[in-house]
Structure 1
């Protein structure tokens, strides 16, 4: 069964107008033409959509059930047209971002607040734990990732952020500024779960130093870890900005690298590259020049769009 979108639009316009006469006027057709088109739709569908009482049309039960389906199909058709227009022009109306939760609150959300009215509308989703490729294949335009993206992707290093051991202001280490791994593992620790990159980096460093944790509590959210630290339950080890009056202690050598990645064949690859540059610049404005990635710290390359 073929589906004529024009006939569907005649159907929904007639329902919204309340009468065939009003609908015909709004659609710039004569009423006999509109009536023939509605009957053609009913014939194509094999459904009686209206009960006809003279010039009045009333939806049948089948018509009421079909109406939301018709509206949804027309809405999807409009979205397809807009997407095709955007692709043809190289313009991006919506920006689908895949972001790890460890950078959403402190890096990405503040950056989104700086976007201009003419920028694409951002739609944020959780980063696929499998990385940039999986995120882009699932529909993201731009992925923010804590590992170097594959070389076949276009990419840009964004920032190198510290991982902190955050303690209460009354902690004896609070004025110290730094804490070594040997001292850290002897404290009760509030750690992110093992699927978070800051936790992975900490585990790797502890293992490499031949150390082990004395007491840990796993948290699935950095803010929860910080809240528990503020409540005196331990030291929160996170990459997030300090909250709840916590004091950050630097962990020498532990840093979180962030990269932006996108498909070089994307129709708006130039726009994505510009947004990645702006995000990198925002990180420097927010945290200072110390977060700028050094050339020796990354082997990521940017591929030009085809």
Structure 2
């Protein structure tokens, strides 16, 4: 069984159609269909059920998919290890993180890389998906919840949640706003799948409050744009945009509402020591860029 055939199988399984899968693996549709049929013949099982132009995984296909992903992950890891050994350093680096983290933390950090640093790629992922990417080939994940103990981890930064207002807002001269006072204002918030929204809801619940009728959206920059347009106060963890003024949100007791970033990587990674060093560099970068009061 060839690794190429396995990659074709995974591509079709994830895309659902051969026509979509060919865009990922860059072969012709007839060639891909032929390889899938040959793989089924070699394994003597039906991997896909053909239904109205779509390919749905059969029971055998569903059982086979995680095995193939594991094999491909190990093969990619072996290739990366060989490249790193030949070069004497980590050659390629794949980082999985949320869109906000990629924009405000990862991209500025990568801009500091030199010629001897690995060639980076990024995978836009959120929450548990970023950690799942580690199992599927990513080298480093950056997440906003403490990773499970099976991963090596490093705390990178404690970032404030901001309440963003336009420069002509009555609060534009303030540095902080109490959570209780903020709760009574028109707010623009992210949907509940985002960590900043979860932290906001949790803090309000602890005080016996809840969001009244917020404007919800699925993108932090759009939330700031709506705040700039006067639709409410945006509560996000992003850097400021649209000339907005940010206020730290003070909870009862005096603590600021904040989000903690963690780096995670596989302790069995062939370049685990290099990833640990990169995580340390990223922590220093974050401390400089986002000093915690």
1:84-103 → structure 2 map (5 Å cutoff)? 85-86=82-83, 88=85, 91-103=89-101
Number of the residue aligned with 2:11: none
* Alignment length (residue pairs): 222
Cα offset for 1:188? 1.3
Q: Find the aligned partners of 1:81 and 1:273 in 2 and give their Cα distance.
A: 19
Contact in 2 for aligned 1:189/1:236 (Cα 8 Å): yes
Match of 1:250 among 238, 244, 248: 248
Q: Distance in 2 between matches of 1:172 and 1:125?
A: 40
Q: Is residue 287 of structure 1 aligned with residue 290 of structure 2? A: yes
- Taking structure 1 as reference, are residues 107 and 211 closer, same or farther at Cα in structure 2, changes over 3 Å only? same
Measured in 1, the distance between the counterparts of 2:85 and 2:117 equals 18
Cα offsets for 1:70-93 (capped at 9, x unmatched): xxxxxxxxx899535225457322
5+ residue gaps, structure 1: 3-64, 70-78, 292-306
Deviation of 1:225 after TM superposition, in Å, equals 0.5
Q: Which residue of 2 aligns with 1:203?
A: 201
CA distance in 1, matches of 2:90, 2:183: 47
Would the aligned equivalents of 2:84 and 2:91 in 1 still touch at CA under 8 Å? Answer: no
Contact 1:141 1:262 (8 Å CA) reproduced: yes
In the TM superposition, residue 269 of structure 1 has moved relative to its aligned partner by 0.4
Q: Unpaired runs of 5+ in structure 2?
A: 3-29, 35-75, 251-255
Question: Which residue number corresponds to residue 45 of structure 2?
Answer: none
Instruction: Tell me which residue corresponds to 2:71.
Output: none
Q: Which moved more, 1:123-132 or 1:248-257?
A: 123-132
Normalised to the residue count of structure 1, the TM-score between the two structures is 0.66
CA contact (8 A) 1:167 1:247 kept: yes
Query: Could you report, residue by residue, the CA deviation over 1:216-275 in whole angstroms, capped at 9, with x for unpaired residues?
Result: 111111110011111111100011111111010110231100010000000000110111
1:20-31 mapped onto 2 (5 Å cutoff): none
Any idea what SS the aligned residue of 2:238 has?
A: coil
In the alignment, which residue of structure 2 is the partner of 1:168?
166
How has the CA–CA distance of structure 1 residues 249 and 84 changed in structure 2, closer, same or farther, with 3 Å as cutoff? closer
Partners of 1:81 and 1:237 lie apart in 2 by 44
* TM-score, length of structure 2 as denominator length: 0.69
Over 3 Å counting, the alpha-carbon distance change for 1:169 and 1:127 in structure 2 is same
Aligned residues of 1:166 and 1:247 also touching (Cα < 8 A):
yes
1:136 and 1:128, CA in 2 relative to 1: closer, same or farther beyond 3 A? farther
**Structure 2 partner of 1:213:** 211
SS of aligned partner of 1:240: coil
**How far apart are the structure 2 equivalents of 1:150 and 1:214?**
34
- Give distance in 2, aligned partners of 1:197 and 1:152: 22
Q: Is the 8 A contact 2:90 2:271 kept in 1?
A: yes
